[in-house]
Chains A and B, each alone.
Chain A
Amino acid sequence: MNLAGTGTLVRLVLRRDRLILPLWILLVTAFFSGTASSFSQAYPTAQAQQEFVENVVGNPAIVAVIGPVLGPGIGGLTAWRVGTAGSMIVALIAILAVVRHTRTEEVAGRQELARAAAVGRGAHLTAVLAVVGTGMLIMALLTGLALTAQHLPAAGAFGLAFSLAAVGWVFAGVAALAAEICSTNRAAVGVSVAVLALAIVLRMGADAGGGHGPTAWLAWLTPTGWMQQVEPFSAQRWWVFLLFLAVTAVLIGVACRVRDTRDIRAGLLPDRPGPAHAGRGLGSVFAVTWRQNRGLLYAVLIGYGLLGLLMGSAAPGAAQAGPQLGPFLAKLGVANGGEALVTLLIYVFAEILAAYAIMVTLRPRSDETGGLAFVLLATPASRTRWALSQFVIVVLGTAAAMLVLGVTIGLTYGLSSGDLAVQLPAAIGSALAKLPAVWVVAAVAALLFGLVPRLSVALCWAVFVLVLGLEIGWEFGQVSDALFAVSPFSWVYPLAGQAHAAAVLGLTAVAAVLGAGGLLALQRRDIG
């Protein structure tokens, strides 16, 4: 593959990303060292750390979502705490950067412009991989230094930091391949994020049984699992890095291979001709909104279905968890660790579903900036109908996702625990009861889209991060009950003896009012 011009393109990538690149490197570093220092402040003694670990290990949902604590001391706690979130952030950075400088450039026609100069076929891909790969290394070095400065063992600190960078490499490889295979940047990001989601779900499946259950082997199928297996502060399995490198090399090798044989702008699959006339169903605003949204919804439904099946099958492993669980189970009002896991996972995945709700609600914003809204709204389609069709997708789509999650997790857990008649309806009820909280987040997004369209994207994701932040802070006792009450999810948190009927109605009413406010605001403002 010809690499002429790579050096210039590296400089182009650096120029275009001159703000975001140092920013993410510093943010990831700060996230790691901040976590380590907050742990050493909150749990200064070995005994306090041990108590914290026992409490955490007692909560099967936290073990499933974040993973088990591997290794002693602040190092082990930091590795545990940042593992999943850190690898997710780093993987997303790698995916977005690689697609942005490969397929997006190609779709926009800019790659054509560059490659008409003396630039080799492989230059774009090589340039961005070089920048992202090096960026990951710098991030790992800084993180390692920052952790060592906090008196963590150097080998562990650098081992942890480099294992995170290695996750970034693997997903840079995943994105490189996806960008070669898919003919649009949206699809390339979608496929890469789906692979990331699968990687995380598999790791959760491995840990749902407390890390030693029947599904523990799943950890070896996923890069986020390998990151845990390095165990930088205890077992120190450095050979796992060979696994990371080998998989990255294979992914990039295949991507180069595809790139060397395909036409510019083409994907692996040729564009097939479609229908010359619209089918009977494609004749309304709702129909076209559905066409825009169905792909993402199917992906979410499949994802939640897999998640439910996996978690439900792994949950019985958590049922045998230790006796220290007693007070915790009483607080939740459940009989054993398995039920606690099911209840809490449904809650956590409802919270994550809010991201999907935001994406769908903000879809009209990208139609507005892209110009599609002008085409649509110049027809008799009213703004209200346009917005309402998105609302319908959000409300029914999130309901379908929670239903799928409730059914799959209830079915598998019910079957494996031999208590289907109780577990299935309980899981479905619990899943659906979380919906109004998701809708409130969506309604806030709708309101922001109506009131401040230009800021809406940034503000909506800030709201999402706030909701997650309040949740995590509250779980670890750093956020008071009163502050946590700001989050709509606090009102549907599964506590023993708490009927959610009032909360469900109240949240639904709040969502309806906010949504109506969004509609009114949209009526009154300029489009564009």
Chain B
Amino acid sequence: MSDAVDVQGLTKSFGSTSVLSDLNLSVSSGEVHGFLGPNGAGKSTTIRILLGLIRPTSGTIRLLGGDPWADAVELHRRLAYVPGDVTLWPNLTGGEIIDLLARLRGGINVERRDELIERFELDPRKKARTYSTGNRQKVALVSALSSRADLLILDEPTSGLDPLMEVTFRQALIEEKNAGRTVVLSSHILSEVEAACDRVTIIRKGRTVETGTLAQLRHLTRTTVEAELTSVPQRLLQDPDVFELSVDHNAVKFQVEPHRMDAVLRILIEGGVRNLVAHPPTLEDLFLEHYQNVGNGPAAAGHGGRHAQHLQGATK
């Protein structure tokens, strides 16, 4: 029961097109889990499978200790969902919809609801048809955050919110985390993920490519080093663990695997260091790497071809 979500080897095909192949996702109870991937990677399909709305082709899936397809109704009493593209009943008001969903789920924290309506600056008396995208999202968010559900499944919940409301959402999310709720958060807003998520899973083309804490993921990714040297040592140009090297007179810029940092620094010192900046990969680098490159295993991206090319360019 410690895992709120446990998905192993999930596949899903619609006819002959395969949308998910070998997807793994495990979310512990009480953690905020970032679920990331480029558009069309299969995030929403995975979430719909978790909700028991579509049936997996193969794989084992446990959600809150149950089978999402067979026990959908029972499980839905314990979760709240915010869809990526929120559709609401056009002739009901936002307030009516929040209450309706709460009654369908079987519980609402009334104080929390009123407080969130206030904080999100939502007018609950307007008909859903007249709401903008952001306001529809607020209705779904207030409904989910004020529910008594154990698990929140949020599919890009801030894509339509303004920056102020995004901050409000982030605060609310941290409140949920402190209250011990489990959250699956699919998002493209990296700062949001960085601020709130304990662990992340990155998927690409229906496959899990990376999972772990942000620190672990950073560890697998190269650090960028910029240095101004007295002279550029030949050994640096030939070192197989130096990537994306560019040389401009005596200034060098390159990337290096964390475990080789020590050795590479010694080479730099040979050249006489006048100035040195090293920074760990930003979350953005991390994503770009996983989103752009073809690769199945951890940290498989970016090796080989590009390295050789840049090195050639640098030595010319």
Instruction: List A residues at the B interface (Cβ < 8 Å).
Output: 183-184, 271, 273-279, 282-285, 287-288, 291-292, 370-382, 524-528
Which residues of chain A have C-beta atoms less than 8 A from B124's C-beta? Answer: 276-277
Residues 69 to 104 of chain B near chain A (Cβ within 8 Å): 72-74, 76-77, 79-81, 83, 85-93, 95-101, 103-104
Question: Given A271-B126, A288-B89, is A526 in contact with B72 using a C-beta cutoff of 8 Å?
Answer: no
Question: Given A527-B54, A528-B53, is A275 in contact with B103 using a C-beta cutoff of 8 Å?
Answer: no
| A to B CB contacts below 8 Å, 12 in the list | A274-B95, A274-B96, A372-B88, A375-B81, A377-B72, A378-B80, A378-B153, A380-B104, A381-B73, A382-B72, A382-B73, A524-B55
Question: Given A378-B51, A380-B74, A527-B54, is A371 in contact with B103 using a C-beta cutoff of 8 Å?
Answer: no
Say whether A274 contacts B77, CB under 8 Å: no
Which residues of chain A have C-beta atoms less than 8 A from B140's C-beta? Answer: 375
Say whether A378 contacts B88, CB under 8 Å: no
Question: A478 to nearest B CB, angstroms?
Answer: 41
Does residue B298 face the partner (Cβ distance < 8 Å to A)? no
Which residues of chain A have C-beta atoms less than 8 A from B76's C-beta? Answer: 377-381
**B104 — nearest CB in chain A belongs to which residue?**
A379
Does residue B48 face the partner (Cβ distance < 8 Å to A)? yes
Does residue B105 face the partner (Cβ distance < 8 Å to A)? yes
Does residue B307 face the partner (Cβ distance < 8 Å to A)? no
Say whether A375 contacts B48, CB under 8 Å: no
Say whether B72 contacts A528, CB under 8 Å: no
Docked Cα-Cα span, A377 to B90, in Å, equals: 17
Which residues of chain A have C-beta atoms less than 8 A from B48's C-beta? Answer: 374, 527-528
Q: Chain B: interface secondary structure?
A: mixed
How many chain B residues sit at the interface, stated as a range, is: 35 or more
Question: B66 to nearest A CB, angstroms?
Answer: 13
Which of A274, A275, A287, A526 has most chain B Cβ within 10 Å? A274
Does residue B181 face the partner (Cβ distance < 8 Å to A)? no
Which residues of chain A have C-beta atoms less than 8 A from B80's C-beta? Answer: 378
Question: A361 to nearest B CB, angstroms?
Answer: 19
Q: A375-B81, A378-B83 are in contact. List 5 more A-B contacts (CB 8 A).
A: A278-B98, A283-B103, A375-B88, A376-B104, A382-B73
Which residues of chain A have C-beta atoms less than 8 A from B99's C-beta? Answer: 277-278, 282-283
**A378 — nearest CB in chain B belongs to which residue?**
B81
**Cβ-neighbour of B53 out of A275, A284, A382, A526 (below 8 A):** A526
Which of B72, B83, B96, B98 has most chain A Cβ within 10 Å? B96
Which residues of chain B have C-beta atoms less than 8 A from A377's C-beta? Answer: 51, 53, 72, 76
Say whether B93 contacts A380, CB under 8 Å: no
Contact with A along B182-207 (1 / 0, CB 8 A): 00000000000000000000000000
Does residue B106 face the partner (Cβ distance < 8 Å to A)? yes
**Cβ-neighbour of A273 out of B54, B72, B125 (below 8 A):** B125
Say whether A278 contacts B73, CB under 8 Å: no
Say whether A282 contacts B101, CB under 8 Å: no
**B93 — nearest CB in chain A belongs to which residue?**
A274
Say whether A273 contacts B93, CB under 8 Å: yes
Does residue B129 face the partner (Cβ distance < 8 Å to A)? yes
Question: A297 to nearest B CB, angstroms?
Answer: 14
Say whether A371 contacts B85, CB under 8 Å: yes
Docked Cα-Cα span, A275 to B88, in Å, equals: 16
Say whether A274 contacts B87, CB under 8 Å: no
**Cβ-neighbour of B96 out of A282, A370, A372, A381 (below 8 A):** A282
Question: Given A271-B126, A375-B83, A527-B48, is A276 in contact with B93 using a C-beta cutoff of 8 Å?
Answer: yes
Docked Cα-Cα span, A277 to B130, in Å, equals: 17
Say whether A277 contacts B88, CB under 8 Å: no
Contact with A along B101-138 (1 / 0, CB 8 A): 10111100000000000000001111101100000000
Docked Cα-Cα span, A287 to B87, in Å, equals: 18
Residues 14 to 63 of chain B near chain A (Cβ within 8 Å): 48, 51, 53-55
Which residues of chain A have C-beta atoms less than 8 A from B129's C-beta? Answer: 183-184, 271
**A294 — nearest CB in chain B belongs to which residue?**
B91
Which residues of chain A have C-beta atoms less than 8 A from B77's C-beta? Answer: 380
Docked Cα-Cα span, A88 to B174, in Å, equals: 60
Which of A275, A277, A279 has most chain B Cβ within 10 Å? A277
Say whether A378 contacts B53, CB under 8 Å: yes
**Cβ-neighbour of A274 out of B51, B103, B125 (below 8 A):** B125
Docked Cα-Cα span, A376 to B88, in Å, equals: 9
Question: B130 to nearest A CB, angstroms?
Answer: 5
Say whether A278 contacts B95, CB under 8 Å: yes
Which residues of chain B have C-beta atoms less than 8 A from A287's C-beta? Answer: 100
Docked Cα-Cα span, A422 to B49, in Å, equals: 60
Say whether B83 contacts A371, CB under 8 Å: yes
Which of A284, A377, A380 has most chain B Cβ within 10 Å? A380
Docked Cα-Cα span, A379 to B88, in Å, equals: 14
Question: B47 to nearest A CB, angstroms?
Answer: 9
What are the 4 tightest A-B residue pairs by CB atom distance, in nearest-first order?
Answer: A278-B99, A371-B87, A283-B103, A273-B125
